[in-house]
Structure formats: C-alpha cells, structure tokens
Amino acid sequence: MPASPLTELIESRLSSLKLKPFSELLDLVPCQSEKVNCNGKTLTLSVWKDQVSDEEIRVVVQIYRHLFMGIGRMAADGFRIDKNGTWKKLPQEELYEFS
C-alpha cells in the first residue's frame, strides 16, 4: 500500500535530519514550523527538538493539515540520537503528544 502524502513529507524531512551530526541537531531551536504545499493543500510542518540529556536529543517531525473550524489532521514520527550519532526510532507512546 502506498504511503500517504503526509507520511511521505515526514519521512523526507526525517531522512535529511538523520544525516545531520549531533552538534548540528543540538543547535536547532526547540520548535520550528513552516508552511508547505502538498497536492494543492497548505500544511504546517514542524520540527521539534528536545534535549533529553547531555548525551541524547529527541527529534520529532509533525505535519498538521487544517480541515475546518479548528479541526485538523496530524501525523508525526521521530527519533532519538546520541552523541555518537547512533539514532533509534521513537516508540509510538512518545509520539502521542505530537499526533
């Protein structure tokens, strides 16, 4: 089954973030958002960064699509990365607050 456009946008951004070194990810602001166009619809793409410890960062990419009257659709995925550059996918429980 093909991935949804929302999932494809998230995976694309995550792929580029996973290539960055720990030090560069550490320099990200806690949350940055931008408007993106997908199939004629305007979506909000946000990148969240939490420093879990001196040794680890959590990065989440979230997509929000406004439907009507404050109701919308969200999807998110992310990873943790340590100082050595080793990353691991976030479990679904850690993504609940973002989706």
End-to-end CA distance of the chain: 21
Is 26 a residue whose pLDDT tops 70? Answer: yes
9: three-class secondary structure by DSSP: helix
Average of per-residue pLDDT values in the chain: 90
Is 1 a residue whose pLDDT tops 60? Answer: no
Question: What's the total number of domains in the chain?
Answer: 1
Task: Show the domain range for 24.
Answer: 5-98
Mean pLDDT across the stretch 84-97?
A: 93
Residue 52: φ, ψ to 5°: -70, -40
CATH of residue 26's domain is 3.30.1300
Is 50 a residue whose pLDDT tops 50? Answer: yes
Query: Which tens digits make up the pLDDT trace of 3-18?
Result: 687 888 999 999 999 9
